Structure 1
Amino acid sequence: DDRILPLDTQALEVTPADDRRLVVDAFARWRITDPVRFRRAMGDGGIERARPRLERILNAELREVLGSVDSGAILSADRVALMNRIRDQARAQAQALGVQVVDVRIKRADLPEQNLEATFARMRAEREREAADEIARGNEAAQRVRAQADRTVVETVSEAQKQADIIRGEADARRNAIFADAYGRDPEFFAFSRSLAAYEKSLRGGNSSMVITPDSEFFEYLKTATPEK
């Protein structure tokens, strides 16, 4: 019988060298190469009896080979070398049954469900921590920007105040120089002009009241002024 027969195994949990448990689904293809030996080994059970025997052999080789490497090598897409090792070792064990293991393939290799949940929880916690770190860094950057803006405002206001003080000082100096020049040219007129300004300021509005003696110097120019005719 030269037929190529399939062998699907049940999901098998293996422990790689890094102790990271994995669930592996594998299948094999096999054929009868020695009918006499096969019949002697299987009796009347034939192919149906051979399948569980071959599955035990395959599972044993899966555990041995996959247990000798890290989980990364098993989860990698490039695991042909591992499957060839399993095939060769299973073939050597199955020879006594009068059969040949033609091929072995790993259909799936995943973390157990409980490990997946723990892994997802860990990944979620890591992402949340990264997000919190990003938010903290963003807040810190925002605080730095606000602090810099506040410093800039303070510096700008201070500089503006400084310039305003300088301008006021220069204006006062020019005004004083003008007053001094006017006083030097005509002291009497300067005194008269200043008195008029004082009268205007004191008598501005209709409700102003002043208590001053008749001989006060405040009215000096009012008393001496002669009306025009």
Structure 2
Amino acid sequence: MRKLTLLIPILVIALIGVLSSVFVVDEREKALVLQFGQIKAVKEDPGLSFKIPLIQEVVKYDDRILSLDTETIEVTPSDDRRLVVDAFTRYRISDVVQFRQAVGVGGVRVAEDRLGSILNSQIREVLGADQVTSDTILSEDRRELMNRIRNQARDSARSLGIEVVDVRLKQTNLPEQNLNATFARMRAEREREAADEIARGNEAAQRVRALADRTVVETMSEAEREAQVIRGEADAKRNGIFAEAFGADPEFFAFYRSLQAYEKALQGSNSSMVMTPDSEFFDYLKSDRAAK
């Protein structure tokens, strides 16, 4: 009975020792076995593994692709137009031994701080290079710029045991103090373009009006000319008829013209005429001529 009593604690201690020496490496992780801070083993394959209890410890790192958002920074392209840029990167821990040696016990937090500094430095270097303007950064050519930032950041981050998978610029805006000035300049340019369009429209309208007025004048002149021609031809025909009538019967022609003169002269209810008694105007109203 006494032996059983002593055996139970020994078995419990042994069980605890066995359980504390076993650890599981997930397929999404990599593990380091450390002994007094020194790396003794690297566990990259998933499954059960063993360590010495109380002497060795296990540090696990995520083996998946991780994301990091950088801080917003200001860059100055070659055209001296400042831009506010923030980016994000995808990275993974490619070498856990080198990663541990580079960041120590700080782990991912320290690594991301250093990686963020590397990215900001590369963003300033690439976007501030010669021949890189703000229009280039805001155009479709920014893809090439992002690839350059990724490649340079990848070379710099290799010493941390990190592989930079991708880098993307999320936002590229003007600083707040320059944004209003830019909007005002754009508004002024649009107003100038609108004024130019209005001026060109007015000029075109004046040309159309002048052409229409000239067409009206030419049409009226042509119509007036044709009317004068027709009127002249009618007067010529009328005079021809009068001349023919005068030649056929001069006395009747004189009588007809006198009646027309009376009709034009004697109009109204109180027409008065003053003439000498021997005037020939009323010859056809006298009794002797009327009798004839």
* 1:147 alignment counterpart: 210
* 2:92 alignment counterpart: 30
Name the SS of the counterpart of 1:217 in structure 2: coil
Q: Work out which of the residue numbers 87, 112, 116 in structure 1 matches 2:174.
A: 112
Structure 1 position 60 matched with structure 2 position 121: yes
Aligned residues: 226
Task: Note the 1:156-195 alignment, pairs <5 A.
Answer: 156-195=219-258
Where relative contact order (Cα < 8 A, 6+ residues apart) is larger, the structure is 1
Q: Return 5+ residue gaps in structure 1 as ranges.
A: none
Larger Rg: 2
Q: In structure 2, how many angstroms separate the alpha carbons of the residues matched to 1:197 and 1:24? A: 102
Deviations 1:116-175 (A, max 9, x none): 434333332222222111111111111112112222222222222222322332232223
Task: Note the 1:63-142 alignment, pairs <5 A.
Answer: 63-68=124-129, 70-71=132-133, 74-77=137-140, 82-97=145-160, 99-114=161-176, 115-142=178-205
Letter matched to residue 21 of structure 1:
R
Residue 79 of structure 1: CA displacement?
5.1
Given that 1:86 and 1:104 are in contact with CA atoms closer than 8 Å, whether structure 2 keeps it comes out as no
Letter matched to residue 24 of structure 1:
V
* 1:10 alignment counterpart: 71
TM-score where L is the length of structure 2: 0.64
Q: In structure 1, how many angstroms separate the alpha carbons of the residues matched to 2:240 and 2:120? A: 111
* 1:224 alignment counterpart: 288
Greater Cα shift, 73-82 or 112-121: 73-82
Structure 1 position 210 matched with structure 2 position 273: yes
Change over 3 Å in CA distance of 1:140–1:86 after alignment to 2: closer
Given that 1:42 and 1:49 are in contact with CA atoms closer than 8 Å, whether structure 2 keeps it comes out as yes
Q: In structure 1, how many angstroms separate the alpha carbons of the residues matched to 2:141 and 2:258? A: 107
Q: Return 5+ residue gaps in structure 2 as ranges.
A: 1-29, 31-60
RMSD of equivalent CA atoms: 3.1
Q: In structure 1, how many angstroms separate the alpha carbons of the residues matched to 2:290 and 2:107? A: 151
* 1:21 alignment counterpart: 82
Given that 1:22 and 1:111 are in contact with CA atoms closer than 8 Å, whether structure 2 keeps it comes out as yes
Given that 1:75 and 1:109 are in contact with CA atoms closer than 8 Å, whether structure 2 keeps it comes out as no
* 2:24 alignment counterpart: none
Q: In structure 1, how many angstroms separate the alpha carbons of the residues matched to 2:251 and 2:231? A: 28
| Richer in strand (by share) | 2
| Richer in helix (by share) | 1
Identity of aligned residues (%): 62
